[in-house]
Amino acid sequence: MKILVCISNVPDTTSKINFTEGDTKFDTNGVQFVINPNDEFGLTRAMWFKEKQGAIVHVASVGGSTAEPTIRKALAIGADEAIRVNAEPTDGHFVAQQLAAVVKNGGYDLIIAGRESIDYNGGMVPGILATLLDMNFVNMCIDIEVDGNNVQASREIDGGKEKIKTTLPLVIGGQKGLVQESDLRIPNMRGIMMARKKTLNVVEPIEATVATSDIKFDKPAPKGAVKLVDANNVEELVQLLHNEAKVI
């Protein structure tokens, strides 16, 4: 089985976010980038298939050279090879088109993408990718087992879980549940040294449609002032909740 894990290079959630050029561009200065968490769950699951079933695992990312440290981390975790499409990930449709070209050239059986990235939260790439490739698709996937060409998967639905039987080739939109946070892997020194020798292919983007563009970003409103009330002063707390917060 040959697996492609799609990797997004996203800001760490602890980073302070700012915008430039009249709030139309994301300011990357001083921002630490990491593997998108949903993608990291998928990568770890792919490593299980590699260790238990001898799967070949490649990773692919659409982005500039600044994404390479994140891609190298995926190689250090255990991926065999990486592909970087040398283009800025302008929108979900554009990214899906670039990844579809990678899949068509690579002959992959299973494509694992995160259900959404934590920067723009578009949630579009896996579904568009499956459509472009005319492959089976399971979104919100929280479990997957592969036996030959047959697949059993589970996905989250409102109020529960749904179990699905399908076949390869398959695209999944994965998330926590494929593995747990405790299962995620930190690259060790041996993995980091081996990653330097692994292939990282840089390919130029295909001509593709950019369907959307950013007009302006708005930050959430700042938090209001907080009043602290002594734990023993219940009367003042009730008065503030009634007269100022107006919640009782």
Q: What band does 248 get if pLDDT is binned at 50, 70 and 90?
A: confident
In a domain, 69, yes or no: yes
Handedness of CA 27, 33, 35, 36 (dihedral sign): negative
How far is it, in rounded angstroms, from Cα 229 to Cα 191? 52
In a domain, 233, yes or no: no
In a domain, 79, yes or no: yes
Domain count of the chain? 1
In a domain, 241, yes or no: no
How far is it, in rounded angstroms, from Cα 36 to Cα 228? 37
Q: What is the mean pLDDT of the chain?
A: 94
Among the listed residues 60, 40, 37, the one whose alpha carbon sits nearest the alpha carbon of residue 185? 40
* Amino acid identity, position 157: I
In a domain, 13, yes or no: yes
| pLDDT confidence of residue 4 | 98
Domain of 17, in residue numbers: 2-217
Cα angle at 208 between 205 and 212, to 5 degrees?
120
Per-residue pLDDT tens over the stretch 153-192: 999 999 999 999 999 999 999 999 999 999 999 999 999 9
Per-residue pLDDT tens over the stretch 106-136: 999 999 999 999 998 899 999 999 999 999 9
In a domain, 208, yes or no: yes
In a domain, 139, yes or no: yes
Q: Are 152 and 164 in contact (CB under 8 A)?
A: yes
Instruction: Note the pTM of the prediction, 2 decimals.
Output: 0.88
CATH code: domain of residue 118: 3.40.50.620
3-state DSSP assignment of residue 222: coil
Per-residue pLDDT tens over the stretch 187-238: 999 999 999 999 999 999 999 988 888 899 998 888 888 889 998 999 999 9
